[in-house]
A = this chain, B = another copy of it.
Amino acid sequence: MNNDLEKELENKDIRPTAMRILVLQALMKHEYAMSLNDLEMEFENVDKSTLFRTLKTFEDKKLIHCINDGNGSVKYAICKATCLVEHIDKHVHFLCLKCNHTYCLTDFEIPSINLPVDFTFESANVIVNGVCANCK
């Protein structure tokens, strides 16, 4: 059961405390990326600084990546195998205008983008806005 999650954490060099297992569980449970606020709702009795630091730890250890949804809120999602290659998420994100959930479209790579002369490409952030399958 939680052994899997414990191992998951230990693999990433994160000590598997009760709190961290719960947060990881929550992140896995949802198919969309969660904000700090989403987690606060999920665990009402837990301090937000704890959740914040948990997320930071996860991010440092590359268990999750964060996404700026283009509206000011930051959301976190588990890194899939494809994320890990270079730790920069090269996939497209999708913000549903109805439910406000952000999805990692891990199977959809960012298309190549032209730039003016003398501008060099490092990475790109692509957020598509629209309506997701659940809200359709």
Contacts and interface: CB of A to CB of B under 8 A. Distances in A.
Interface of A: 68, 70-72, 74, 92, 94, 97, 105, 107-108, 111-133, 136
Contacts of A112: 111
Given A120-B130, A122-B130, A128-B124, A94 B68 contact: no
Nearest to A121: B130
Contact of A120 (B72, B116, B119, B131): B131
Chain A interface mostly helix, strand, loop or mixed?
strand
Most buried by B among A70, A72, A121, A133: A70
A125 B127 contact: yes
A45 to B, nearest CB: 28
Nearest to A108: B114
Contacts of A71: 68
Contacts of A130: 115, 119-123
A102 to B, nearest CB: 12
A39 B54 CA distance: 35
